[in-house]
């Protein structure tokens, strides 16, 4: 079984970002970038399926600038076999990315595509579902457990009320939630080995899909700041303030 894992390079989750003063976007100059945490979970799951003998090949793909190479290398160091970098300096929207990924799927014919449920920069939570639609495949989103059973895959999903299990026809699209696994750190020998693994560099134009942005970003602004309030000394004082000052109890 062949698995494709799309990975995205994003601002590291520990970074507190700043909005540009001219409100055109977020200032990403000299900011630490990492693999989107949900994509790490996707890579880890693919590697575990390979270690269990279920998967035979893991291909990682990233759509983005030349530096997205580093993100692909990280995935190769975790255990993926080879990478594809679709180079673009444009800010693609989820539908555009899904169209590019569809072309990659058609070229590589994977049985399973595992994506993150959401990228922690755009917070869109769209790409996997859109890819499933474009391919006419089933989708198992927000997965916390996977079980392959012949040509079907059982997916436990994290939903608002608790957990839901669905059985999907393969090929399928999976998007990862936090509890699916705990991603490994790449070991030094594996980081060295990953340097020799192949990364195929493509230009976006080679895929012949129209992925041009369609939305207009009017502005990006700072959220309303919350002021720190007061410290109370005792629980009694707290209850008194909630009752008589804030009026919320």
Partner 1 sequence: MNTLLIAEHNNETLADATVKAVTAAAQMGGECHVLVAGSGCAAVADQAAKLEGVAKVLLADDAQYEKQLAEPMAALVVAMADGYATIASPASTNGKNFMPRIAALLDCSQISDITAVIDANTFERPIYAGNAIQTVKVTEAKKAVTIRATAFQAAGDGGSAGVEAAGAADNPGLSEFVNEELTKSDRPELTSAKVVVSGGRGMQSGENFPMLEKVADKLGAAVGASRAAVDAGFVPNDYQVGQTGKVVAPELYIAVGISGAIQHLAGMKDSKVIVAINKDEEAPIFQVADYGLVADLFTAVPELEEELGKAGL
Ligand X SMILES: Cc1cc2nc3c(=O)[nH]c(=O)nc-3n(C[C@H](O)[C@H](O)[C@H](O)COP(=O)(O)OP(=O)(O)OC[C@H]3O[C@@H](n4cnc5c(N)ncnc54)[C@H](O)[C@@H]3O)c2cc1C
For ligand X, the binding residues in 106-165 under the rule CB under 6 A are: 115-116, 118-128
State the nearest-atom distance from the C-beta of 195 to partner 1, in Å. 32
* Cα first-last separation, the chain: 57
Q: Which is nearer to ligand X, 149 or 233 (CB)?
A: 233
CA distance 122 to 207: 24
CA distance 212 to 207: 13
Encoded one letter per residue, x for contact with ligand X by CB under 6 A and - for no contact, window 193-222 reads ----------------------x-x--x--
Q: Which is nearer to ligand X, 111 or 167 (CB)?
A: 111
Contact stretch for ligand X (CB under 6 A) within 3-11, 159-167, 199-207, 226-234: 3-11
Count CB atoms within 10 A of the CB of residue 116: 26
Q: Select from 3, 34, 64, 194 the one that contacts ligand X (CB under 6 A).
A: 64
State the nearest-atom distance from the C-beta of 81 to partner 1, in Å. 28
CA distance 142 to 131: 15
Residue 77, burial from CB neighbour count under 10 angstroms (0-12, 13-18, 19+): buried
Q: Mapping DSSP to helix (H, G, I), strand (E, B) and coil, where does residue 50 land?
A: helix
Q: Which is nearer to partner 1, 52 or 212 (CB)?
A: 212
**Positive/negative CA dihedral, 174, 177, 182, 38:** positive
Site for ligand X in 78-107 (CB under 6 A): 91-94, 97
State the nearest-atom distance from the C-beta of 230 to ligand X, in Å. 18
């Amino acid at each position: 079984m062949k698995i494709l894992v799309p990975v995205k390079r994003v601002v590291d989750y520990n970074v507190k970002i700043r909005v540009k003063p001219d409100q055109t976007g977020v200032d990403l100059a000299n900011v630490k970038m990492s693999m989107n945490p949900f994509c790490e979970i996707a890579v880890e799951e693919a590697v575990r399926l390979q270690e269990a003998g279920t998967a035979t090949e893991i291909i990682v793909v990233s759509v983005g600038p030349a530096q997205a190479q580093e993100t692909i290398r990280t995935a190769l160091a975790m255990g993926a076999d080879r990478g594809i970098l679709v180079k673009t300096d444009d800010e693609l929207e989820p539908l555009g990315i899904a169209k590019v990924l569809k072309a990659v799927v058609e070229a590589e014919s994977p049985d399973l595509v595992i994506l993150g449920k959401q990228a922690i920069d755009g917070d869109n939570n769209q790409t996997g579902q859109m890819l499933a639609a474009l391919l006419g495949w089933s989708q198992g989103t927000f997965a916390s457990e996977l079980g392959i059973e012949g040509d079907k895959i059982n997916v436990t999903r994290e939903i608002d009320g608790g957990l839901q299990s669905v059985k999907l026809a393969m090929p399928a699209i999976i998007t990862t939630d936090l509890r699916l696994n705990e991603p490994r750190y790449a070991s030094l020998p594996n980081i060295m080995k990953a340097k020799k693994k192949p990364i195929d560099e493509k230009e976006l134009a080679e895929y012949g899909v129209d992925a041009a942005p369609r939305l207009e970003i009017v502005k990006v602004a700072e959220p309303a700041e919350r002021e720190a309030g007061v410290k109370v000394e005792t629980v009694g004082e707290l209850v008194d303030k909630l009752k008589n000052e804030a009026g919320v109890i």
